[in-house]
A and B are shown apart, each in its own frame.
Chain A
């Protein structure tokens, strides 16, 4: 994985544009704006496969505010709002 070495800056998936590919570094649900509690959001993200080391690719964006986004997570596609995707730190 030479293209995803440690030199790549870490960023929240919620800011990634269409076409972005990266690897999940960690989940950080502390300061997101989500209606869910930190623990609940983290649990749900894990249940949908957003775990450390998973490869992600932003496949599609919605019309209004480029939101929500459709993200390829390893072998499945998940639709998620940018607000919640802010908790997923990728590089």
Chain B
């Protein structure tokens, strides 16, 4: 009979290298989901031991103790105790430690031992410790702790061989008698006593060299300098956005010409008619216009993952803490807000690192105001159609300046909204503590970066393949049916459902300068912002023929006034045009009310901004 699946759980403090060990053990055999009822990400992976035992391993959220002071930490506690609903009690807990920094993990391990679960202490990053002159008496440590200890180098090939062998050895002896669970929340004095015990064991088993990591100290001297640090941060952000806009261009052009060629091929091979129109206008130009943004999304995630792995993100939070505090934001909000420039969804999910509820809520409410990558297609299209590519003051490109202005307006309004929340809604506000470990810098590892980018790119493409695709089919259908009566002379689209819906909405949107085509595009734009571009493309393509689909920018330039274009840009800074973001807000706040609040305030801001922009522009003669 085959042995049953062995269940492992990875527990450790933040920055212990848990995730790189998880990646090393499972490679790409990973499954990411949520724990039932809560929004904590559940990462499970699979592998086979040298002796052929099938293993499932769960990467639990990092924690310093089992007290469970945030949803993440509660999951870790309940999972280890076997109280997490719908979860199997782990057969074996792997407590992962950064070998260069054992104090906090040994204390956590002493606490974990009380749960009575079989356990292994994994001394990860053992190579870095050895290089720094740290020596660990592994045998003695195991004896003192009463727990098997194994060293590992997660980032090196074969670096986990000892761990795998030990897992085999221990799992063969498992399931004798269940151990007693004597864990309960530690009092302050017990906590202190445990830390003392941990420090005593470390003093006995580990010899630390006097010198700390010199590289980290040298880099921090610059990067955490009160003024120099902020300049470095600004430079990093500048390079990041420069990269996203400039470096991604060749790859995007390549993708675009690929889709154009595909459309041409369809046009050439299929006879004129509904099927050809469906494939070319609906599917290829619609989905293609969204997939084109894959290079930008990969680049922005590449930067975020690199900075995270390197250890810079905690430093950025340190630098920004007081500055953001002025607007009522927590320093830790910086990371989620920065991620929101890629997409508000991972940004909002990243707010889980903020353990104060109010700080977290404020961050969630303003995250959608950060200019996400889905707005890029809309901005790029309108800017290139309406804003001349001339230089101002000799060296600044006007189009780039407008783009920068849109980003800046987003950030400024996010800060303003946060300020308003702080003053009017959450009055008895006491700033939550900012306590954060600044880990030693580490060379980012290609493999874990690659796995990270792969999962995100996959998510984006799945979205393009499902949500966006179905929206495009819907738009094409609405714009194509009913077909015009035989012998009519007006454009076919005037008879369609899309025109009927758009014209019904037109009176509402006329004050901000939107025509019925925009009204039609805004509806599927609810599914995802970038769909609006594709929808405009489809609507104008069916209205104006094939050349319109290929040159949508030029078509817009002839159909819209400058005032309408500017109004549309203002609309997109604020509009809550993303069903997935709203769904994530609902999930993360656990409340329909906050979702509705976000939707309403953004819609009001969007309408107001467009109204002002349109009327000012018309008054200035741009109507």
Task: Tell whether, in the assembled complex, residue A47 and residue B64 are in contact, meaning their CB atoms are under 8 Å apart.
Answer: yes
Flag whether A39 is at the interface (Cβ < 8 A).
yes
Going nearest first, the 7 A-B pairs with the smallest beta carbon separation are A64-B322, A35-B430, A60-B224, A63-B226, A47-B64, A77-B438, A79-B318
Is A63 in contact with B438, judged by CB distance below 8 angstroms? no
In Å, the complex CA distance between A67 and B438 comes to: 15
User: Assuming A68-B434, A79-B435, what are 17 further A-B pairs, CB within 8 angstroms?
Assistant: A34-B433, A35-B433, A46-B191, A46-B195, A49-B103, A59-B217, A62-B226, A62-B319, A64-B326, A67-B321, A68-B322, A70-B220, A76-B103, A76-B104, A77-B216, A81-B433, A84-B435
Describe A's contact surface by its main secondary structure.
Answer: mixed
C-alpha gap A13/B336 in the complex (Å): 30
Shortest Cβ distance from A62 into B: residue: B322
Q: When the two chains form the complex, which single residue of B101, B195, B230, B432 contacts A51, counting CB atoms closer than 8 Å?
A: B195
**Interchain CB contact under 8 A, B437 and A41:** no
1/0 per residue, CB under 8 A from A, across B169-193: the answer is 0000000000000000010100110
Q: Are B437 and A77 in contact (CB under 8 A)?
A: yes
Neighbouring A residues of B107 by C-beta, 8 Å: 47
Task: Return 9 A-B CB contacts under 8 Å, by A number.
Answer: A35-B356, A46-B195, A47-B104, A72-B212, A77-B440, A79-B321, A79-B437, A80-B436, A84-B433
CB closest chain-B residue, reference A18: B226
B401 cross-chain contacts in A, Cβ below 8 A: none
Cβ A47 vs Cβ B434 within 8 A = no
Q: CA of A76 to CA of B249 in the docked complex: distance in angstroms?
A: 42
**Which residues of A are in contact with B by a Cβ distance under 8 Å?**
34-36, 39-49, 51-53, 59-68, 70, 72, 74-81, 83-84
What is the distance, in angstroms, from B393's C-beta to the closest C-beta of chain A? 29
Q: Are B331's CB and A46's CB within 8 A?
A: no
A41 to B69, alpha carbons, bound, how many Å? 12
Contact partner, B191, options A47, A60, A65, Cβ 8 Å: A47
Chain A residues whose C-beta falls within 8 Å of the C-beta of B191 in the assembled complex? 43, 46-47
In the complex, chain B residues whose CB is within 8 Å of the CB of A52? 192
* Chain A residue contacts of B431, Cβ below 8 A: 35, 81, 83
Give chain B interface residues in 467-522, CB to chain A under 8 Å.
Answer: none
In the assembled complex, B323 has its CB within 8 A of some CB on chain A: yes
Report the nearest A residue to B67, measured CB to CB.
Answer: A43
A36 to chain B: which residues have CB within 8 Å?
A: 432-433
Q: How far is the CA of A43 from the CA of B6 in the complex (A)?
A: 35
Q: How far is the CA of A72 from the CA of B211 in the complex (A)?
A: 12
Q: Within the assembled complex, what's the spacing in Å between the Cα atoms of A35 and B191?
A: 21
Residues of A within 8 A of B356 (CB): 35
Enumerate chain B residues within 8 angstroms of A66, measured Cβ to Cβ: 226
Query: How many angstroms between the C-alpha atoms of A62 and B314 in the bound complex?
Result: 13
Let me know if B199 is at the binding interface, CB within 8 A. yes
Residue B65 is within 8 A (CB to CB) of chain A in the complex: yes
Q: How far is the CB of A19 from chain B (nearest CB, A)?
A: 12
Given known A47-B191, A72-B212, contact A78–B196 (CB-CB < 8 A): no
**Partner of A67 from B188, B212, B317, B322 at Cβ < 8 Å:** B322
Q: How close is A45's CB to chain B, nearest CB, in angstroms?
A: 8
CB under 8 Å from chain A, chain B span 417-470: 430-440
Contact among A70, A74, A83 with B318 in the assembled complex (CB-CB below 8 Å): A70
- A residues within 8 A CB of B361? none
| B188 x A42 contact (CB < 8 A) | yes
B322-A63 in contact (CB<8A): yes
CA distance A31 to B293 in the complex (A): 54
Alpha-carbon separation in the docked complex, A61 to B318 (Å): 9
Assess whether B227 is in contact with A63, with CB atoms less than 8 Å apart.
yes
B24 to chain A, nearest CB (A): 24
B208 contacts A by Cβ under 8 Å? yes
Using A43-B67, A79-B438 as known contacts, say yes or no to A51 and B199 having CB atoms under 8 A apart: yes
A59 touches B220 (CB 8 A): yes
A57 to B238, CA, bound (A): 33
Whether A48 and B199, one on each chain, are in contact in the complex, defined by CB atoms closer than 8 angstroms, is no
B323 near A63 with CB under 8 A, answer: yes
State whether the Cβ of B280 lies closer than 8 Å to any Cβ in chain A.
Answer: no
> What residues on A are CB-neighbors of B439 within 8 Å?
77
> Nearest residue in B to A48 (C-beta to C-beta)?
B435
B100 close to A (CB within 8 Å)? yes
Chain A residues with CB under 8 Å of B437's CB are: 48, 76-79
**B100 pairs with A70, CB closer than 8 A:** no
Q: Which of B220, B224, B434 contacts A81 (CB 8 A)?
A: B434
With both beta carbons as reference points, the residue of chain A lying nearest to B65 in the complex is identified as A47
Contacts of A83 in B (CB 8 A): 431, 433
